[in-house]
Amino acid sequence: MSQNKYQLTITKVGESYSVEMRDYYSNYCCVYEQTVEKAMEYAKQWFDEADKRYQENQTHAKAVMEMMALDRKAGITTRMSDGLD
């Protein structure tokens, strides 16, 4: 975690608001909300979930690496592609 740096941009787009967010793990999200209050509420929730999202991403990455190792061991991968091509 790097000093809790967040980026939040709320822009009026027609009748709604574009909410762009980037957390301290560089995860990005963009949603549209009807009011500024709802935009801020969504952003607060999204930022509060940053650590949970990071842990989920780490778990996913670990699982993918383990699957790749199993594929190599089974001989179904080549240098540039897997056996699914």
pLDDT tens track, the chain, 85 positions: 446 789 999 999 999 999 999 999 999 999 999 999 999 999 999 999 999 999 999 999 999 999 988 888 888 876 666 555 4
83 exposure class (CB count in 10 Å sphere: 0-12, 13-18, 19+): exposed
pLDDT confidence of residue 81:
60
pLDDT confidence of residue 5:
86
pLDDT confidence of residue 50:
94
pLDDT confidence of residue 78:
67
pLDDT confidence of residue 1:
44
Which residue ranges make up each domain of the chain?
A: 7-72
- Of 2, 1, 10, 12, the residue nearest 43 (C-alpha): 10
Spatial separation of the C-alpha atoms in residues 20 and 42, rounded to whole Å = 11
